[in-house]
Structure 1
C-alpha cells in the first residue's frame, strides 16, 4: 500500500509567478472594462476552437459509441463561440446575468444552510449575506455591471492567486510506498 502525502512547497519560481500574478491582478483592476472585453473575446475563441476540436474528435468515434454526443456538444460549443465573437456586448451581458444569479443563489443557499444543526452559523450567515448582496447589486445594476464585473472578478482572482502563491507556495502531492526504497524493508508505523 502507499500513502498520499500532501505538502506545501515554495520555490523561487513560485515567488516569481506570485509577483507576476499580483502585478497582472493590479493591472487588470486598473483597466476592468478592457479586461472584460478581452475575457469575453477570449472565451469566444476558446468556444470556437473547442467546438472545432470536438467536431473533429467526433469523426474519430464514428464506429463507436459517443459520436452524436460529441458532435452535438462540439456543434453547440462552436455556435456559442461564434455568437460570443459576433456580439461581445451581449455575451458580456449574459455572463454578467449568470454571475449575478450565481451570487444570489449561492447567498440564499448559504443563508438556508446556516440554520442547519451543527452548521458553522456565523461563517455561513456572513458569506450568505455577502453573496445575496452581491447578487442583488449585480442584478439591479446589470448594465453598469456588464462593463466591469467580469474584469473585476478576473483581477481579484489573479491578485488573490498571486498573494496565496507568495504566502503559501504550491501543494505538492506525492506517494510514499510501504517499502523503504533504500533498504527494501517494510516501514514500521
Structure 2
C-alpha cells in the first residue's frame, strides 16, 4: 500500500482518538498513583469475573474430561481476583515486582544476545542496559515504584498508542492486514 493510500484511509476519528489517547496518557502519567490503584482494582475484577466464568463453564463438563481442571482453574482465578480486590496494595506490590523482574531478565537476555549478534550489537547493548537499569531501579525502590510504576506504564502505553493512531490511523492498519496476500488493484 502506498503512502498516499494510507493517508486517504485515515479519518477524522483517527485524529480525535489519537488526540484523546495522547491527552489521556499525559493525564494518567500525571496521576500515576490513582491510575495504579484503578488498574489494580480493574484487573482484580477481571480476574475474579474470569474465575467465575470458568467455574460456571466447568459445571457444564461434569462427568467429562477437563471438569476437575476447569473447577480448579476457575477457583484459583476467583480467589486470586478476590485477593486483588481485598488487598490492592499487595497486588500492586506483586505486579511491580514482576515487572521489575521482567525488565531485569529481558535486559540481561539482550546483553547476552549482543555477544552473538554482530549486526544489532549496539542496539541490543543499549536496550539491554536500559532494561537492566530499569529493572534494578524498580527492584531496589520497590516501595516507591509500587504506587507509580503501573500507572506510568499505562500512561506511556496510551501515549504510544495515541501517536501510532495519529501517524498511521486505524483504517490504514486494518486495511493492510486485510489486504495481505491479495493482489494490488491499480
Report the CA distance between 1:19 and its aligned residue: 1.1
SS at match of 2:124: helix
Other-structure match for 1:122 = 122
Aligned positions, number: 174
Other-structure match for 1:164 = 164
1:150 counterpart = 2:145: no
Other-structure match for 1:174 = 178
TM-score by length of 2: 0.87
Report the CA distance between 1:17 and its aligned residue: 1.3
1:37 counterpart = 2:27: no
SS at match of 2:178: strand
Structure 1 runs of 4+ aligned residues shifted over 3 Å read 175-178
**Runs of 5+ in structure 1 lacking a partner?**
1-6, 181-186
Report the CA distance between 1:175 and its aligned residue: 5.0
Check 1:118–1:64 CA distance in 2 against 1; reply closer, same or farther (3 A cut): farther
Other-structure match for 2:80 = 80
Higher strand share: 1
Check 1:177–1:160 CA distance in 2 against 1; reply closer, same or farther (3 A cut): closer
Other-structure match for 1:18 = 18
Report the CA distance between 1:13 and its aligned residue: 2.1
Structure number with larger C-alpha Rg: 1
Higher helix share: 2
Higher deviation after alignment, 162-171 or 103-112? 162-171
RMSD of aligned C-alpha atoms? 2.0
TM-score by length of 1: 0.85
CA distances 1:82-102 after superposition (whole Å, capped 9, x unpaired): 001111111111111000000
CA distances 1:44-103 after superposition (whole Å, capped 9, x unpaired): 111111100110111122243222222211111101000011111111111110000000
CA distances 1:21-60 after superposition (whole Å, capped 9, x unpaired): 1111011011000001001100111111110011011112
